[in-house]
Structure 1
């Protein structure tokens, strides 16, 4: 996995999700707990799909599931309690039966400091978990 550590190399189209780090998302030092980043990625990925006119549930209703096969996160600087952050998401690569999403976490938004970069590789499967080719409609949906 090649994490995208520079904003200018990020794929288009993309989405940006604004969040505020809650007290419950922090550790004793007031830093965002590392385990919350994948959840933030999931929220941004869901927004990416919704902004293209379909929900994750609607994709599944059409018989396409996208389970995570692999994930990587590079933590560069901590996000802090009560800090506004932005999670950016986009599609970086397509396989015959997979799609790779990439993420960047910035904070605070006014400074635009890159806090973390991540990637999730999703298998494209039937509801029964069998690999299927990425449908053309899904590839088209994620490209607008």
Structure 2
């Protein structure tokens, strides 16, 4: 099995913040078409897996992801560290964590594993900002979102 080089990332900054809370775990089947010419899941698909976890989390809190909303979450940056390749067939398990919210944003982190395997295959991060879709400016996070971190 192909293994990526041992890359020492700043895990505290990217994915392993000590001030984070597990908010969602989801399982996503790997599709044959997710693979690239090297025979493993294409790097862009990892971002889709993280996106799916983020959308499931937001929708579970009744924040429909829809272009018709006046205010909505957007991401202003995203990153992924690829630790091991994922191959078809598989089901990935994505764990979504979030940090203490700011005025208009919250940092999210992701851990990606293959179901039945405890090893970490990838880790990622994305900063989510609540935005007024008409003005393009950030607005305060909804109170209902903030209460998740008080529990």
Asked if the contact 1:13/1:143 (under 8 Å) is kept, the reply is no
Which of 104, 123, 130 is the equivalent residue of 2:137? 130
The answer to whether structure 1 residue 114 and structure 2 residue 120 are counterparts is yes
Unaligned runs of 5+ in 1: none
* Deviation (angstroms), 1:46: 1.5
* Deviation (angstroms), 1:4: 2.5
The answer to whether structure 1 residue 38 and structure 2 residue 82 are counterparts is no
**Which structure 1 residue ranges, 4+ long, deviate > 4 Å from structure 2?**
141-144
Give the number of aligned pairs: 139
* Alignment partner, residue 12 of structure 1: 21
* Deviation (angstroms), 1:74: 0.7
Which of 75, 78, 82 is the equivalent residue of 1:71? 78
What is the RMSD computed on CA atoms of the aligned residues? 2.6
Tell me the TM-score normalized by structure 2. Answer: 0.79
Asked if the contact 1:64/1:126 (under 8 Å) is kept, the reply is yes
* Deviation (angstroms), 1:98: 1.0
